[in-house]
Amino acid sequence: MQTTAAERMAVKLLRVRLLGEFSLVYDDQPVTTVNTARLQSLLAYLILHHTRHLHRSVLAALIAPDAPESRARHALSQAIWQLRCRLPDLIESDYDLVGLSPDIALWVDVVEFERLAMPHIQETAGAGAPEAARADLRQAVQLYRGDLLEGLYDDWLLVERERLHEVYLQALESLARLEQAAGRYPAALEAALLLSLSDPLRGSARRLVMQLYFCLGRPEAALHQFETYCQVLSAELGVEPEPETMVLAQAIATRTPDAAAHLPNALASASFLLERADAIPLVGRGRERAELLTHLEGLLAGTGGVVLVEGEAGIGKTRLLQELRRDAEWRGAQVLWAQAEERAGPACGPLLRALADGLTPLRAEQVARLVEAPWLQVLCPLLPTLAAHRPALPPPAPLDPAREQVRLAEAVARLLAAWAQVTPLVVILEDLHQASPDTLDVLALIAPQIRPAGVLIVGSYRGDEVRAQPEVWQRLQALDRSGACAR
């Protein structure tokens, strides 16, 4: 039976804020008379369990846990009567059950907060549109004005308060990383600093703040964050930062002029870090690194493509690519890396190895939702982790070799585009002078498709060896002619 317009107009709305200071607005009127801890706690419990009616014995134990049952039930009856006086038509009850009336429309900040945050926090994140995820998370963070019912300390509240606080922290971290991946460093830093303030011992938050300060051209502020973190850990727990935090601080210090003036004692004493090969400053490749950074910033703005790095053996290509990997990871991109090993290898072999290495079960589940079945049929036999999520797919129909190569290139391009919807993606392919001609043919087919998809493929090769192989050299020239390639 449908309700009339007049009946719908008669439905009263109860707006409830339980995050931070308790607040009620009932039928467009603020309610200030629910002002005792017992009434607020009881009403909050009923609201958070509004989908069902609750036994009086359960509610009595919640509001008077130390009282005998008869006295606790009497206290409950008194509290229900007081709520009915203050909020008419809100509560339904009989001798055994108590609940909220279905005639009352509810808006609850806790419910809205979880609706916005839960689909996007790292543990449960799906492959949604990044802009929509950022918008949802920003709204969720704004709703979290404070912990659940601050100032109340009933036993049932403590566990729920801690759970929601952790959701809030995860929402902040996810928001910061999404803003970072989009190249929105000031917005990302704002979220990361709020996360560090909310949980000063959270190492991942400190590292994110350090990365963002560095990306914003403020390495001294990044090292100051590290020093503050060292002091907090020492005072609170008597421990040093995690090794990955130490490594990050060392990497920033090696790229900072006059770093000694900003280098905390905890970092200066960690001499083992200086032995890391990738902590050695990059010397004499500033122009090349700046060019790669330009492509990386373009990737974060949504423009991808292929970049080729040419050089003789031992000239520093690998070191330059290591620097690119670090720069990309600091900006929130995922980096996949593979090396071409055999000229007679399968078509697209290095790229498929890079994809297989980075295709965790979670990532496979995410991209499998975004790639259509005909292309998954092509990819699953080549990527076992992806096949585990689509075990019932039949094999693709056989084609002649030329058409099979085009189909493989299309399938890989679609996988890369789907991956880039989840996170910015950089694929580094080293030693392409050892790749098969078929691999380079597939790259030439992929290049124009990944440019608008926001995927960056960076390949290195030895120029003298490539020019000594006419087939390989012709393929690289074809890749140049694709219109999506830079050197």
- Check the CA dihedral 481-308-425-253 and report its sign: negative
pLDDT band at 485 (very low <50, low <70, confident <90, very high): low
Q: What is the mean pLDDT of residues 476-486?
A: 72
What's the full length of the chain, in residues? 487
Residue 337 three-state SS:
strand
DSSP state at residue 19 = B
Kindly tell me the burial class for residue 2, based on how many C-beta atoms sit within 10 Å of its own C-beta (0-12, 13-18, 19 or more): exposed
What pLDDT score was predicted for residue 232?
Answer: 93
Q: Which residues pair with 93 in a beta bridge?
A: 98
Select, from the ranges 20-24, 121-125, 308-312, the one with the highest average predicted confidence (pLDDT).
20-24
What proportion of the chain, given as a percentage, has pLDDT over 70? 88
What pLDDT score was predicted for residue 128?
Answer: 57
pLDDT at 23 over 70: yes
Select, from the ranges 225-239, 288-302, 382-396, the one with the highest average predicted confidence (pLDDT).
225-239
Return phi, psi of residue 29, to 5°.
Answer: -120, 130
What pLDDT score was predicted for residue 6?
Answer: 44
Residue 346 three-state SS:
coil
pLDDT digits (tens, 9 = 90+) for 275-329: 443 444 554 566 887 888 888 888 888 888 889 998 888 778 888 888 889 888 8
- Both tokens assigned to 8: 């719908």
Q: At what angle do helices 401-422 and 437-453 cross, to 10 degrees?
A: 40
- Both tokens assigned to 422: 């989840």
Contact 332, 180 (CB under 8 A): yes
Range in 272-281, 283-292, 373-382, 422-431 the model is least confident about: 272-281
- How many angstroms separate the most distant Cα atoms in the chain? 94
pLDDT band at 372 (very low <50, low <70, confident <90, very high): very high
pLDDT band at 272 (very low <50, low <70, confident <90, very high): very low
Instruction: Write down all domains in the chain, each with its CATH number in brackets.
Output: 9-161 (1.10.10.10), 286-486 (3.40.50)
Q: What is the mean pLDDT of residues 372-395?
A: 90
Contact 386, 413 (CB under 8 A): no
Range in 108-117, 186-195, 216-225 the model is least confident about: 216-225
pLDDT band at 140 (very low <50, low <70, confident <90, very high): very high
Half-sphere exposure of 201 (CA within 13 A, CB side): 8
pLDDT at 383 over 70: yes
Q: Look-up: residue for tokens 């493509």?
A: 305
CA 56 to chain centre: 43
Contact 333, 181 (CB under 8 A): yes
- Both tokens assigned to 389: 């999520």
pLDDT band at 124 (very low <50, low <70, confident <90, very high): very low
Return phi, psi of residue 61, to 5°.
Answer: -65, -30
What pLDDT score was predicted for residue 186?
Answer: 94
- Check the CA dihedral 209-211-215-218 and report its sign: positive
pLDDT digits (tens, 9 = 90+) for 193-212: 999 999 999 999 999 999 99
What pLDDT score was predicted for residue 192?
Answer: 96
Greater model confidence, 114 or 252: 114
Residues 6+ apart with CB under 8 A from 290: none
Greater model confidence, 115 or 90: 115
Total Cβ atoms within 10 A of residue 114: 18
Q: C-alpha distances in angstroms, 458 versus 118, 429, 440, 465?
A: 35, 6, 13, 18
What pLDDT score was predicted for residue 279?
Answer: 44
Q: What is the mean pLDDT of residues 349-373?
A: 90
pLDDT at 9 over 80: no
Q: What is the mean pLDDT of residues 437-464?
A: 88
pLDDT band at 213 (very low <50, low <70, confident <90, very high): very high
Contact 425, 456 (CB under 8 A): yes
Range in 3-7, 99-103, 181-185, 401-405 the model is least confident about: 3-7
Residue 50 three-state SS:
coil
Q: What is the dihedral of CA 48, 49, 55, 59, to 10 degrees?
A: -10
Q: What would you report as the CA-atom Rg of the chain, rounded to the nearest whole angstrom?
A: 29
DSSP string, 260-294: GGT--HHHHT-GGGGG-GGGSPP-S-HHHHHHHHH
pLDDT digits (tens, 9 = 90+) for 29-82: 899 999 999 999 999 999 999 888 999 998 988 888 888 888 989 999 999 999
pLDDT digits (tens, 9 = 90+) for 457-468: 999 988 888 888
Q: C-alpha distances in angstroms, 272 versus 4, 106, 203, 359, 372?
A: 75, 58, 20, 32, 48
Return phi, psi of residue 201, to 5°.
Answer: -95, 5
Q: Which residues pair with 305 in a beta bridge?
A: 456
pLDDT band at 376 (very low <50, low <70, confident <90, very high): very high
Return phi, psi of residue 261, to 5°.
Answer: -70, -20
CA distance 201 to 192: 13
Mean of all residue pLDDT scores within the chain: 85
Pick from 227, 271, 275: which is nearest to 249 by CA? Answer: 227
The strands making up 425-430's β-sheet, listed across from edge to edge, are 334-339, 425-430, 455-461, 305-310, 485-486
What pLDDT score was predicted for residue 265?
Answer: 56
Kindly tell me the burial class for residue 349, based on how many C-beta atoms sit within 10 Å of its own C-beta (0-12, 13-18, 19 or more): buried
Q: Look-up: residue for tokens 């999404």?
A: 178
